[in-house]
Amino acid sequence: MVIYITKKENTVLSRIQTFNPEYDEGIPLKVLQTDLNVHEHNLHDVLKSLAKKDLITYEQKKIKLINEGTEIQTLETKEDVMNIKLDIKEANVVKIIREVVDEDNLVSKYILEGYLLYGPEKITNFRMYHIILSLEIKGIIKKVKKRDGRYYKLIN
């Protein structure tokens, strides 16, 4: 699995990789902060982000490298990282839609929303509507209104 990180995160991660062999108990935050010449709160945000992505542990102002063999791709900004994640989520949602459509390539709006909210992807309400809207704009799905309810049609 590829993990996407920003340039700032990559800079910090590469310094952590450099210091990691020297500190068995974890790299002290002050050492990293001094080396990178950044403010503690800026470094703290980047470290929290890297920890959330399971690349490091960050506890009690000590940093340890984990998952060293993970494939990492560096992007310019957080927005670029979010767009990549959204594209991956969109691809997963299209797979789900392909699984639940009937022979006419239709799926009930409520069934699709249920699969997205409570299925394997467990997408939040806000993200689900954002992804559905994005798929509509890209012409992958289309809203269809029938007598018995609202549907989405998968456009091949």
Question: Tell me: the pLDDT tens digits for 91-106?
Answer: 888 888 888 899 889 9
Helix, strand, or coil here: 16? helix
CB 111 within 8 A of CB 119: no
pLDDT at 142: 92
Asked whether residue 68 falls in the same domain as residue 88, the answer is: no
Domain endpoint, select from 54, 74, 94: 74
Asked whether residue 70 falls in the same domain as residue 104, the answer is: no
pLDDT at 74: 84
Look at residue 85 and tell me whether its pLDDT is greater than 80.
no
Question: Residue 108 sits in a domain of what CATH number?
Answer: 1.10.10.10
How many structural domains is the chain composed of? 2
pLDDT at 63: 92
pLDDT at 156: 64
Domain encompassing residue 11:
2-74
Domain endpoint, select from 58, 74, 90: 74
Provide the percentage of residues in the chain whose pLDDT is more than 70: 97
DSSP state of 152: E
- Give the integer Cα–Cα distance in Å for 53 and 48: 9
Asked whether residue 65 falls in the same domain as residue 91, the answer is: no
Strand ranges for 7-85 from DSSP E: 27-28, 56-59, 62-65, 71-75
Asked whether residue 112 falls in the same domain as residue 82, the answer is: yes
